[in-house]
Structure 1
Amino acid sequence: MNAKEYLSQAMWLDKSINNKLEQIERLKAIAEKVTVDFTQEKVSGGKSTTSPMEDATVKLIDLSYEINDDIDRLVDLKREILDVISQVEDVSYQLLLEMRYINNKGWDDVARCMGYDKRWIMRLHGRALKEIDEILKEATKSH
């Protein structure tokens, strides 16, 4: 795994969490729209059937647990990535990498915050990635 792939893990997990949060909102909307059919005959014994509202609620709960697990993983992953970023000597590289990969800022935002134009930020980013690659190589050698 190269530096960019390593650093991007948190961004992708964050996007996945946001996607699941959107799914929860859709499931809530579905659960609120579900109506009960009182015309169904009640049958004793046999297989118990669940209502669409119960199904939606169970899915909501399962998805909520998944999201909580993902958030725990994201916090741990960001902590680990910050640990690696902190090993970069140049503070401006650290700041750039944190803004991009930890805070999920776009390139224009990073450039504006750092007071550089976007082309210069992209150059700095390339240099910072090379340093991260070296740090990751050293870490794999020591293991």
Structure 2
Amino acid sequence: MTNQEKKDFLNRYRDNEREIRRLRNEIQRWKDSAYITSVKYTGAGGGTDGQDKLQVNVERLVRLQNRLTAQMRARIQLRDEIEDAIESVPDDRLQLLLRYRYIEGWRLEKIAVEWNYDYRWVRRLHGRALEKLTLESPLSSVL
């Protein structure tokens, strides 16, 4: 497996985190829309247009909540898979570098600053960490 394939595997956790954030934002927008729709139409009599819009908003919210729940379950499984892969690296320092990069989402520049290392050295360490990384089930798909 190439280093790029390993990076793609490790990046799935952060991708999942971004999708969860996106879903949460979308849910909030639909909640706001449902609230506005319910306030706008509750005082007036006659017609069902407002109720139909409210029902559509609520149904959409339920679908989004279900997708969010599925993504959150996937996140747990992804993190476990990625943690197991990271633990396959024999060097604790390299494990920590991979955790910072792929679990915490730190850029290599930030790791270099935090560790007081030269950026080029951190890049070399990152390459070594990827070389030592072994993946038992690289094609595992939870998304």
* Fold in common (TM above 0.5): yes
Residue in 1 that maps onto 2:140: none
Superposed structure 1 runs of 4+ greater than 6 Å apart: none
Q: Distance in 2 between matches of 1:83 and 1:31?
A: 42
Unaligned ranges ≥5, structure 1? 43-48
Deviation readout 1:44-71 (Å, 9 max, x if unpaired): xxxxx95212211221122112111111
Q: CA deviation at 1:98?
A: 0.5
Q: Distance in 2 between matches of 1:41 and 1:63?
A: 28
Q: What is the DSSP-based 3-state SS (H/G/I as helix, E as strand, rest coil) of the residue aligned with 1:36?
A: helix
Q: What is the DSSP-based 3-state SS (H/G/I as helix, E as strand, rest coil) of the residue aligned with 2:90?
A: coil
Q: Distance in 2 between matches of 1:89 and 1:112?
A: 24
Residue in 2 that maps onto 1:45: none
- Cα root mean square deviation, aligned: 2.2
Q: Distance in 2 between matches of 1:98 and 1:12?
A: 15
| Conservation of the 8 A alpha-carbon contact between 1:36 and 1:51 | no
Q: CA deviation at 1:106?
A: 2.7
Question: Does 1:28 find its partner at 2:31?
Answer: yes
Q: CA deviation at 1:41?
A: 4.0
Moved more, 56-65 or 84-93: 56-65
Unaligned ranges ≥5, structure 2? 138-143
Task: In structure 1, give the amino acid aligned to 2:9.
Answer: Y
Q: Distance in 1 between matches of 2:47 and 2:88?
A: 68
Q: Distance in 2 between matches of 1:63 and 1:103?
A: 26
Q: Which has the larger radius of gyration?
A: 1
- Note closer, same or farther for the CA distance 1:41–1:13 as it changes in structure 2 (3 Å cut): closer
Question: Does 1:19 find its partner at 2:22?
Answer: yes
| Conservation of the 8 A alpha-carbon contact between 1:111 and 1:117 | yes
Residue in 2 that maps onto 1:105: 106
Matched residues, percent identical?
28
